Amino acid sequence: MSGGSGPVIDNTPVTDCSSIIEHTILNSPDPKVLSKLKVNDQLQLEAKTDRGPLVAIDSSGNIAGSITSGILAQLLDCIKKGYKFIAIIEEMDGGKCKVEIRSSR
């Protein structure tokens, strides 16, 4: 069925980019980079291409890991629109790093 002009909820969620908050795990974390980080540190998120991957970069420019959250497509779309995102480290347990993603714009 077509013709509706309302937002599509199931396949293409309509999101206010500035209000995105996502809790997720940093994927493929780099142990050397993580060893220099602590809870509440901020990582900048950067898209390598328009389709990802989305990488988390520390203040020295080192890649700490990647983001493959369920909202990756939304994040990439928002980045294309000029929004910037950070990942704030919430928990670190060995090689596991939990982060909160939010807009920094």
Map out the domains of the chain with their CATH numbers.
17-103 (3.30.70.2330)
Query: What kind and span of H or E run contains 78?
Result: helix 72-80
Select from 13, 14, 32, 22 the least CA-distant residue to 86.
Answer: 22
Query: What kind and span of H or E run contains 93?
Result: strand 85-93
Quote the pLDDT of residue 70. 85
Each residue's pLDDT tens digit, 9-41: 444 555 699 999 999 999 999 999 999 999 999
The pTM (predicted TM-score) of the whole model is 0.82
d(CA 58, CA 20) in angstroms, rounded, equals 21
Encoded tokens for 1:
């069925």
